Chains A and B, each alone.
Chain A
Amino acid sequence: MPWSLYLALKQLFPTGKIVSFFAAMSVLGVALGVAVLLCVSSVMNGFGKEIRDKLVEVNGHLQISDGGIMEEPYALAEKIAQDGEVSGVAPIARGVVMLQYGNRPSFPGVLGVGEAAGQEVIPLSKYVFMGSLEELDDDSILLSTGLARAIGTTLGEEVDLFTPLMLDHLKRDEVLLPRTLKVAGLFETGWSAVDENTAVVTLRLMQELYGLDKGAHKLAVRLKHADSDMGAAEREAERFNMELLRPPQTAMSWMDGNREFLSIILLEKTVMVFVMLLILVVAAFSIMISLHTSVVRKTREIGLLGALGARSWQSAVVFCWQGFLIGIAGSLLGCVLALVILKFRNEIVGLVMDPVTMAKYYQFLSFPADYVVADFVKIILFAIVAATLAGLLPAWRAARIRPSETLRHE
């Protein structure tokens, strides 16, 4: 071990003591900075991942449309399903209806999806917590929890559904009666944008309610390798447009369809991480001040090192080592601290915010977190580099100390 490293270690962890006060405070400063950064980064990643997952699960990786109502969706679906990268295709229809239970109306978005193939693309069954998806038929409906709560209904009750098609009939002096549907199940995805106001019916029923005949609005496509590869959906959308589809048919990836929203999430994360980086800069600055004070305090010892035969740069390196060691120890402690905080994040957040409020403003019932190794590595490297750089100025000062001047003044 180089003597400069040995001496740096001894100055941080002196003989007879576990750790020096200066070292403990500096390590703690870096650890807090690293922990906060890792927590913010992981939570923002978690939010992003949850939102991306929900977007894919509700829309599929790709959506194919022809700008209007697709007359022959099943024929195109069959053709798309032949592609090796596709794991499922389902015609879907979307719209807005009026739903009424007793005298309590609501205007939810309705998704009409085919039974078997539809489940492969939009896996609703995993979100149904009351009732069953198998019970969904042309005379029943699935409601999101928020919607059921809003109109005061529950499993097994009957609700009336009014469609925009009724207006067309009225214009022709015809009366189209509302459809009475039984609530076959309640679902909750954890994403309040969906959970607050969504209903699901069979595609056949949606075709009837919207007068689509055998048509659909879009094809939702699920890909085999797009969950782990963020760019896969965009690449496949491009390939579909070039090779499989004919204008006006177009394929759009879930990322294209939500580009603005995803950009905002990314921007939010970038801004948050940037702001939190300042904590580490402040920690590095306080390390620099402490090390500088240490240089002033140890001027004679630095002079003595020169008298013992140390080169001036070697005496300076002692202080760089100290910054580096503080960075390493602070980063490791910060990682541990961050993992503990993230493990108990929901309990901690629960102390200051109830889940309903969180769902209202942040779209989720629980606090998500996603541990991205690359983010951990970047933050730890930044902390170590910042702490090491903090030792440079004190080191420069130490290098300029002339032993003969410091040793003679007693």
Chain B
Amino acid sequence: MSEHPIISARALAKTYTAAGREIPVLQGVDFDILAGTSVSIRGESGSGKTTLLYLLSALETPTGGELFWEGEPVNGKSQDWKAARRARWMGMVFQAFYLMPELSALENVLMARRIVGQVRAQDSQRAKELLERVGLKDRMKHVSAQLSGGECQRVAVARALMNRPKILLADEPTGNLDETTGEGVMTLLLELTRQEAAALILVTHNAAHAARTDQTLFLRKGGFGK
């Protein structure tokens, strides 16, 4: 476990403007996550969990504060720089899976690699290996319509890990699954990130899932309170 933060946020703030009104969502969030550790973020609906996740992944631009990826400031960097870095360095898993319906499970996993560059033989091998590890060895050629919700989420986990990311961001990854399936996916997510030595930021409502991470943070009134 490294002592260097892989992501740091200092006084991170986000305010939305709607119908001429300013709505502050996050106000001065300080946050560090060390490489290879796992953190869960809990909070009430509308507390800004997802917004924070998108700020940390630079999908959203903060209205205040600073963000660092491995010590490098992210603010002021171009969208292309952020996208390229995100592709190679970060994996994301969402509640609704978001698999490409026209691609098979294997093609979906390889899609993450295609965005980074050419797919080589060892990439195909890794994608198959990941699908095998998430228990979908026999479903590689199936499209999402032929897979169950749990299977789709397992494909999404494999896709997020395809490029050997240093950090994985998961937004309610079990939110659309039943308890048993959700438990299975959660176990898989924690095991794989551990095996791949990736850090994990997990946004969840589920206290049991949160308890399985190294650290749990509560988001209240736009900031953290442990």
Contacts and interface: CB of A to CB of B under 8 A. Distances in A.
Interface of A: 3, 6-7, 10-11, 14-16, 20, 300-301, 303-312, 314, 402-404, 407-408, 410
A403 B116 CA distance: 18
B54 A404 contact: yes
30 contacts: A3-B115, A7-B100, A10-B102, A10-B107, A14-B103, A15-B103, A15-B104, A16-B104, A16-B143, A301-B101, A305-B115, A306-B83, A307-B86, A307-B92, A308-B115, A308-B159, A309-B85, A309-B90, A309-B112, A310-B83, A311-B79, A311-B83, A314-B115, A402-B59, A404-B54, A404-B60, A407-B59, A407-B98, A410-B94, A410-B96
Given A3-B115, A14-B143, A404 B59 contact: yes
Contact of B98 (A16, A304, A314): A304
Contacts of A15: 102-104, 107, 141, 143
Interface in B54-96: 54, 57, 59-60, 79-80, 83-88, 90, 92, 94-96
Contacts of B85: 309
**At the interface, is chain A mostly helix, strand, loop or mixed?**
helix
B6 to A, nearest CB: 17
Contacts of B141: 15
Contacts, number: 83
A408 B87 contact: no
A311 B100 CA distance: 17
Interface of B: 50, 54, 57, 59-60, 79-80, 83-88, 90, 92, 94-96, 98, 100-104, 107, 111-112, 114-116, 141, 143, 159, 171
Nearest to B101: A14
B88 A312 contact: no
Nearest to B116: A309
B103 A407 contact: no
A240 to B, nearest CB: 66
A48 B54 CA distance: 66
Nearest to B100: A301
Contacts of A14: 101-103, 143
Contacts of B112: 308-309
* Residue among B54, B92, B111, B115 with most chain A CB within 10 A: B115
A309 B87 contact: yes
B92 A300 contact: no
B59 A307 contact: yes
A311 B80 contact: yes
Nearest to B106: A15
